[in-house]
Structure 1
Amino acid sequence: MESIEQPNEQSAWRRFWNRGGWWKALLVAAVYYGLYQLAGVLINLAFGGLVDKDNVFANGLSVFIGIGAPILVGSILLVLFGLSLRWLKELFGRQPVRGSWWMWIGVAIVLVFNLLRFASVDWAGWNAGAVVGVLISGLCIGFAEELLTRGFAVNLLRRGGYGERSVMLLSSLIFAALHSGNLFTGQNPLVVGITVVYTFAFGVIMYTSLRVTGNLIWPMLLHASTDPSLILLGGGIDATGGNLHPGPLAGVANLANWAVMLFAIIPIIFVRGRVDRAAAYGMHDPAIPATSVPPAAPVS
């Protein structure tokens, strides 16, 4: 059995983060968002000439430089942060708590509607290189945003002693807040508001997919297939395609947002329980003797 490292064996940096807390989860997200935006500015200064100013989706290089590259930089920074904390094995390992069977419904909703969107895409209206660029960018988005919110945020909240409902809600709020930054790009506030509501609900489903699959890789892959399906069908969750002519299933596929938001109500009502911090992280409540730590509450 792998031994648990004692607090006095950890650096001050690791002790700080290992104690967890909601504000630390928010801090990580805020710093990530700032560095992601900075990376976008620097990449634009260096390679902005490769991006088609009239249509970022004109070709593969334009898509990757304009969308994927800043997120790739963010992904690398998150991995380096995880390495500094020695958390990567923990984050990508088996979850300390499993989910209930009904959580698979959320996974199925996302997967089925993603497939419907891909089946409805007007492939003839897309440049082949742009499609590859969108898929690669989607992988970067799924990896970075899930590592940040269902990885670091969830871990920090659990280490902070929060129950699983609070972990789900707070990590989903952080995920939604990241998308509120679209206000600063000049997007319509109503569209941004709808996007924030949708991304909160989507975050709830990604949390349940983390729970029911038991591994961070699966919500990453679900997320990585969602953004490309949205972009390729019509320009994204906050835009519509101009000259694209989607297939006959597009009307059904466009019901996905409603399905996601409606299903998210179920976890909000039924998720409960708490991770046993002593068993999962070697953390004990100072008010409780280490020899008498109670078992974890049942988790649904």
Structure 2
Amino acid sequence: MAREHTSTWAGFWARGTWWKAVLLIVVYLALYQLAALGVVTVAGDQIDRTNIFATPASVFFGLGASLIVGAIILIIFAASVGWLRPLFSRQPVRGRWWMWIFVVLAIIPIGLRFVGIDYASYAGGVVVTSLLVGLVIGFVEEFLYRGIVVKILRDAGHRELSVAALSSLFFALSHTVNLLSGQPLLTVALTVVFTFGFGMMMYLVMRATGNIVWAMLIHGLTDPTTFLSTGGIDVSTGAAHSPALDLAAPFNIVFVVAALIVLFFIRGKAESASESRIR
């Protein structure tokens, strides 16, 4: 009986449609918000609400703890439908040589921010904790959007152009939950635009390298270096600037422009789950 139930559950998700991706994202975000609320309830006194990067404990409980819960939720889901191995296997659609250009573009601002961060302005342990939490962010967000969501869209029979655009759009729109934390509407709107471009870059990284792990690592270094270089999350708190940070700043716009351009060049289509079963 349990085997039949598991098969029904896995079969439901194997029959990919775009709305199942949306459903999964909504449920995940709701559970993530509940986890964040639970962390605040249990360890809220450890979080500095005026400066989340004030102490290592503030970074961990303010950002990392709920993400760890999110990672566990996603891993359990992927394991329950038998997707852990496929998600970490080589990409079913071969990458093009020109996609490596965007791997380089994604890495350059990370290096610039590493050079430009004012490390002396942070208490001991904050930078290391932020980098470790960043790796969790990269794992969770790439696992969900470039892993699970991309697989659902591919199993639905979408061509890679639609897969890239829809997964990046869903990733971008998920950042509207920042409104719940009190961020201004304009800031959230700009974040949505920028994250669409970044989502496209991560899709191209995954396609070029052939494995989602590299997108996880690059994403995992992008977020913490951005936070530490600006002093905040999706906003600047007046952190010190340097020539390196000035050079890194325009890359958000570069990513958006590049994303719109590459939409005209993405080709290919993965074999869907139904097609695989037929063969």
**Partner of 2:174 in structure 1?**
178
1:38 aligns with 2:34: yes
Q: Distance in 2 between matches of 1:237 and 1:194?
A: 13
Give the root-mean-square deviation of aligned CA atoms.
1.7
Of 145-154 and 51-60, more deviation after overlay is shown by 51-60
Name which of 260, 271, 278 aligns with 1:265: 260
Counterparts in 2 of 1:10 and 1:58: CA distance versus 1, 3 Å: closer
Gaps of 5+ in 1: 1-7, 285-289, 291-300
Q: Distance in 2 between matches of 1:149 and 1:176?
A: 10
**Partner of 2:10 in structure 1?**
14
In 1, are the aligned partners of 2:78 and 2:84 still within 8 Å (CA)? Answer: yes
In 1, are the aligned partners of 2:18 and 2:152 still within 8 Å (CA)? Answer: yes
Task: Report the structure, 1 or 2, having the larger helix content.
Answer: 2
Percent sequence identity is 45
Is the partner of 2:90 in helix, strand or coil?
Answer: coil
Q: Distance in 2 between matches of 1:133 and 1:166?
A: 36
Counterparts in 2 of 1:71 and 1:10: CA distance versus 1, 3 Å: closer
Q: Distance in 1 between matches of 2:191 and 2:220?
A: 17
Of 180-189 and 219-228, more deviation after overlay is shown by 180-189
In 2, are the aligned partners of 1:227 and 1:236 still within 8 Å (CA)? Answer: no
**Partner of 1:282 in structure 2?**
276
Q: Deviations over 1:121-164 (max 9, x none)?
A: 11111112111221111011100000000000000000011111
Letter of the aligned partner of 1:277 in structure 2?
S
> So what's the TM-score if we normalise by structure 2?
0.94
Q: Distance in 2 between matches of 1:211 and 1:266?
A: 16
Mapping 1:10-159, distance limit 5 Å = 11-159=7-155
Counterparts in 2 of 1:283 and 1:166: CA distance versus 1, 3 Å: farther
Bigger-Rg structure (1/2):
1
In 2, are the aligned partners of 1:168 and 1:207 still within 8 Å (CA)? Answer: yes
Q: Distance in 2 between matches of 1:246 and 1:183?
A: 27
Counterparts in 2 of 1:10 and 1:37: CA distance versus 1, 3 Å: closer
Q: Distance in 1 between matches of 2:106 and 2:240?
A: 23
Q: Distance in 1 between matches of 2:144 and 2:61?
A: 22
Is the partner of 1:269 in helix, strand or coil?
Answer: coil
In 1, are the aligned partners of 2:155 and 2:271 still within 8 Å (CA)? Answer: no
Instruction: Flag as ranges the 4+ runs of structure 1 deviating above 3 A.
Output: none
Letter of the aligned partner of 2:194 in structure 1?
Y
Counterparts in 2 of 1:53 and 1:236: CA distance versus 1, 3 Å: closer
Q: Distance in 2 between matches of 1:189 and 1:204?
A: 23
In 2, are the aligned partners of 1:195 and 1:237 still within 8 Å (CA)? Answer: no
In 2, are the aligned partners of 1:233 and 1:241 still within 8 Å (CA)? Answer: no
1:66 CA drift (Å): 0.6
Letter of the aligned partner of 1:168 in structure 2?
A
Across the two proteins, how many residue pairs are aligned to each other?
276
Q: Distance in 1 between matches of 2:27 and 2:6?
A: 23
In 1, are the aligned partners of 2:32 and 2:69 still within 8 Å (CA)? Answer: yes
